[in-house]
Amino acid sequence: MPADFSSSLLGLLMQGTGNNNNSWGSNLNDFVFAYLEAAIAEYTTITVTGGAESLTAAEHRSAMIEFDGTLTSNCTVTIDNTKKRWRIFNNTTGSFVLLMKTASGDAIEIPQGTHKDIVCDGDDHIYRLDDKEIGNFILHGGPTAPPGTMACSGGTYVRADHPNLYSKIGTTWGAGNGLTTAGLPNLTDTNRFLRAAGGSIAVGTYQASQNKSHTHTGSGTTSTESADHTHTYSGSTGTQSANHTHTEVRPSGSNTTTGGGSFPVYDGGSAGYTTNTGAESANHTHSYSGTTSGKSATHTHTYSFTTSTGSADGTEARPESAGVLVCINL
């Protein structure tokens, strides 16, 4: 008769034809039904303190596994490379991490204080079913980061301690020491707002505050100033005596003596004669005209002004806002 054997996934007893006469009921209860129940609903608690751990066959069959204890170092739990799904609870304490892996596969993190559904594909790979959420930002209403997250307050983290996060964001937010650490987003140093990346703004880019270039329009009237112009003028001078002479005629044989006044006295001197007085300006006018020189119209008036401050002015430009704690999923 063929021998009994165990199933490859859960180790259920598989009966060979004709075997287990009068004992199959006990075998069915102990090695089939009990195993199925464990795989569906059993909750197993394992206490760990750090270092390397491996699941026993019975622990491996459990549907839910809780790890508790105080970690004094990182703890890496090795599981069998078989196709199976578990819910893992990390209820450890201490400032260290819990990792799970197959013997030849890569480790995944079960963040402290969380429970995660994980699947092994039987090909040395373990997957967390919340993989798509790793590296996402969350907005938290409390003052401290909730379990399974870290506050986006800068600094670095150890790549090997948080392999899932590193696989998602890499060195986008800083290379750390370039070997074993990487950077966390820093949103708290200046209380940064988040902005969609695109164009010249890449994910992981920090921007300083600024106001967009703009102008203020003012209007008014400067004091008057002469424009470019000329003055035309013309006219004539007033009248004046003309240039002329006075002729004096003396009687023949008379003499001229000077009397007591301003008029000559004739006294019968030699024959008459004529004399001319000095010239005098004639009655005349002078015409004149002309144009004054131009005044340049090209000129500027320099002025400046400052807008007044408003009652709501402060030390930063911002929309209405509310403060929250920005965290990143591990």
Least confident range from 96-110, 113-127, 207-221, 278-292: namely: 278-292
CATH number of 131-194+324-330: 3.90.1340
Residue 250 · residue 272 · CB < 8 Å: yes
pTM: 0.70
Mean pLDDT to the nearest integer, 225-242: 67
Confidence of residue 246 (pLDDT cuts 50, 70, 90): low
Q: What is the pLDDT of residues 167-197, one digit of tens each?
A: 999 999 999 999 999 999 999 999 999 999 9
Q: For residue 260, is pLDDT > 80?
A: no
Q: What is the pLDDT of residues 24-78, one digit of tens each?
A: 888 888 888 888 899 999 999 999 999 999 999 999 999 999 999 999 999 999 9
Question: pLDDT value at position 269?
Answer: 47
Residue 10 · residue 31 · CB < 8 Å: no
CA-nearest of 278, 252, 281, 256 to 266 is: 256
Residue 24 · residue 17 · CB < 8 Å: no
Give Cβ neighbours of residue 19 (< 8 Å, ≥ 6 apart). 1, 2, 3, 4
Question: pLDDT value at position 221?
Answer: 66
- Torsions phi, psi of 24, nearest 5? -65, -35
Question: pLDDT value at position 270?
Answer: 45
Q: What is the pLDDT of residues 195-231, one digit of tens each?
A: 999 998 999 999 988 888 888 777 766 666 666 667 7
